[in-house]
Every structure is written in C-alpha cells, then in structure tokens.
Structure 1
Amino acid sequence: MIEKIPGVYGPKAVNKINVKKSLQSASGEGGRDGVEFSSFAVELSKVSAELKKIPDVREDLVEGFRRQIQEGTYAPDLEKVARSLIVAGLLNGEE
C-alpha cells in the first residue's frame, strides 16, 4: 500500500517552498522588533518586587511565641487547634 503513494501524488507533488523573511512590521516600519508590556504587567512587576522585600518569616512573632513558651505563658486556643485538625483531616480524606 505504501508503494502506491508516490504513484498517486507523483514526484512533483512535493515542491520546495521558498520563504522570504520580512522585517517589515504591520505598521510599515522595517527592521525594528519591540515588546510592549501592558500596564497590568508593569504593575504586577512592581508588586512582585515589593513582595520580595518582605521576609518569609515574621521574626517578631516567632520571638514572641518562643518567649511565651519558655516562660510557660503560651496558651493556644485548643478549640481552634482541634477545629483546624478536623478540617485538615477532612480535606485530606482522612476520618
């Protein structure tokens, strides 16, 4: 069956395609490439840069909890802890 394919299309069926590269843009200016970012992208970039300045760990809170634990005054809300554990278990499919 494969040997019949050249007979159907013939040797001239596949022609070389000549591609001309054009540097002319749609506006008619030639030879210039450019990128233009939307105002949203610029704003997103600024916000991202500001977020990178914020530390991942709030050392002041960690130090406060550390001090409370060492002094024996740390008293977490046990109902809130239990509720969080139950919700986490339900979300993970555990019972």
Structure 2
Amino acid sequence: MKINQYSQTPLKAYSDNRAKDVAGKTQNQQQSSTATRDVVNVSSQAKLLGTARQAATDSPDTREQKVRELREQVRSGTYKPDIRKTAMNLVRDEVDFLR
C-alpha cells in the first residue's frame, strides 16, 4: 500500500488555491483603498478667483472713508462733481464696451 502516492496532489491543490485567495484579497484591498480616495481638481479660473477674493479681503477699506465723505458732502449740499470728468468717463466706458 502506497500512502504517499495520492497525498501530494490534494495538498498541492489546496496550497495553490490558498495562494490565489491571498493574492485576490490583496488586490481587492488595493482597489477598495484606491476607490475611497477623493480627488479635487481646481481650474485656473477658480484659482484666480480665489486669489482675487483673498486680495479684496486683505485690502484696507479706504473706499469706505471716501464714501462717507461724499455722503456728507451730498447731504450738506457742498458736493460739486466735475461734469467734464464725468462725461469723459462715460464716453470712455461706452467706447471700451463697444470694442
């Protein structure tokens, strides 16, 4: 009676299947960890907008003081705008708009 004749084949098949299972689990773990990562892509326009917004936030509020002064001049009746300068600015804006 030969006992060793049949004993190696079933054990080899078991070890081959076990190696495949371990390799499959490792690959599944890599795929699942890759799938759970979030990726954010920011366009160049969004970056520029963010930079502009930050610059506006960081800039001092010098216009606020000017607006207060002009408001007081209008209320007191002492505000005298330069009509020529206003007209030139309106014409310039229209020409720029038409280009």
Q: TM-score scaled by structure 1?
A: 0.40
TM-score in terms of structure 2 length: 0.39
Structure 1 or 2, whichever has the larger Rg, is 2
Which has the larger share of helix? Answer: 2
